Structure 1
Amino acid sequence: MILRTFGWSFGVTALGLVAALLYGGPAGLALVAVLAILEISLSFDNAVVNAKVLDRMSPFWQKIFLTIGIAIAVFGMRLVFPLVIVVITAGLGPIEAFDLALNEPDKYHHAMESAYPTIAAFGGMFLMMLFLDFVFEDHAHKWLPWLERPLASIGKLDQLSVVVAGGALALVAGLWAKDPGDVMIAGVLGMVTYILVNGLGELFSGAGGIDLDDDGDDDDDDDGAEGERAAEAERRGGPSQLALATGKAGFFLFLYLEVLDASFSFDGVIGAFAISTDPIVIALGLGIGAMYIRSLTVFLVRKGTLHEYVYLEHGAHWAIGALATCMLISIAHHVPEWITGGLGAGLIIAAFVSSVVRNRNAGDAEETASGEDKQLHSSRV
Structure 2
Amino acid sequence: MVLKTFGWSFAVTALGLVAAVLYGGWAGFGIVAILSILEISLSFDNAVVNAGILKKMNAFWQKIFLTIGILIAVFGMRLVFPVLIVAVSAQLGPIEAVELALNDKDKYQELVTDAHPSIAAFGGMFLLMIFLDFVFQDREIKWLARLERPLAKLGKVDMLSVCIALILLLISATTFAKSAHQHGGGHADKAETVLLSGVAGLITYLVVGGLSGYFEKKLEDEEEREHEEEEKARRSGKKVTAVAVGGKAAFFMFLYLEVLDASFSFDGVIGAFAITNDIVLMALGLGIGAMYVRSLTVYLVREGTLDDYVYLEHGAHYAIGALAVILLVSIQYEIPEAITGLVGVALIGWSFWSSIRRNRAIAARQKVLEKKA
Q: Does structure 1 residue 367 correspond to structure 2 residue 363?
A: no
Contact 1:37 1:289 survives alignment (8 Å): yes
Q: Deviations over 1:298-330 (max 9, x none)?
A: 000000000110000000000000000000001
Give 1:125's aligned residue.
125
1:15 offset after TM fit, Å? 0.3
1:210 offset after TM fit, Å? 4.4
- In 2 relative to 1, CA 228–23 (structure 1 residues): closer, same or farther, beyond 3 Å? farther
- In 2 relative to 1, CA 14–126 (structure 1 residues): closer, same or farther, beyond 3 Å? same
Distance 1:283 1:266 in 2: 13
Give 2:142's aligned residue.
142
Distance 2:239 2:21 in 1: 47
Distance 2:63 2:96 in 1: 36
Distance 1:255 1:166 in 2: 24
Give 2:210's aligned residue.
199
Supply the RMSD in Å over aligned alpha carbons.
1.8
Q: Does structure 1 residue 350 correspond to structure 2 residue 331?
A: no
* 2:216 alignment partner AA: S
Q: Does structure 1 residue 290 correspond to structure 2 residue 290?
A: yes
Q: In structure 2, the residue corresponding to 1:206 is in which secondary structure?
A: helix
Q: In structure 1, the residue corresponding to 2:67 is in which secondary structure?
A: helix
- Which residue of 166, 179, 185 corresponds with 2:190? 179
1:130 offset after TM fit, Å? 0.2
* 2:298 alignment partner AA: V
Q: In structure 2, the residue corresponding to 1:231 is in which secondary structure?
A: coil
Distance 2:161 2:72 in 1: 29
- Which residue of 177, 196, 200 corresponds with 1:189? 200
* 2:54 alignment partner AA: L
* 2:246 alignment partner AA: T
Give 2:84's aligned residue.
84
Q: Deviations over 1:195-241 (max 9, x none)?
A: 111111111113563459xxxxxxx9xx98xx999835xxxxxxx32
Distance 1:82 1:35 in 2: 15
Q: Deviations over 1:5-46 (max 9, x none)?
A: 000000000000000011111110011000000000000000
Q: Does structure 1 residue 231 correspond to structure 2 residue 240?
A: yes
Q: In structure 2, the residue corresponding to 1:274 is in which secondary structure?
A: coil
Q: In structure 1, the residue corresponding to 2:157 is in which secondary structure?
A: coil
Would you say how many aligned residue pairs link Structure 1 and Structure 2? 353
Q: Deviations over 1:312-355 (max 9, x none)?
A: 00000000000000000011111111111110000000000000
Give 2:11's aligned residue.
11
Q: What 5-or-longer segments of structure 2 have no aligned partner? A: 178-188, 224-228
Q: Deviations over 1:79-108 (max 9, x none)?
A: 011111111111222222112111211110
Distance 1:328 1:253 in 2: 26
* 1:209 alignment partner AA: E
* 1:4 alignment partner AA: K
Give 1:155's aligned residue.
155
Q: Does structure 1 residue 305 correspond to structure 2 residue 316?
A: no
Contact 1:211 1:246 survives alignment (8 Å): no
Give 2:278's aligned residue.
278
Distance 1:81 1:265 in 2: 10
1:246 offset after TM fit, Å? 1.2
- In 2 relative to 1, CA 35–54 (structure 1 residues): closer, same or farther, beyond 3 Å? same
Q: Deviations over 1:165-198 (max 9, x none)?
A: 1100000001121221111111011111111111
Give 1:217's aligned residue.
none
Contact 1:211 1:245 survives alignment (8 Å): no
Q: Deviations over 1:258-314 (max 9, x none)?
A: 000000011110110001110000000000000000000000000000011000000
Q: In structure 1, the residue corresponding to 2:220 is in which secondary structure?
A: coil
% same residue: 59
Q: Does structure 1 residue 95 correspond to structure 2 residue 118?
A: no
Distance 1:273 1:175 in 2: 25
Q: What 5-or-longer segments of structure 1 have no aligned partner? A: 213-219, 233-239, 374-381
Distance 2:39 2:16 in 1: 14
Distance 2:191 2:89 in 1: 17
Give 1:215's aligned residue.
none
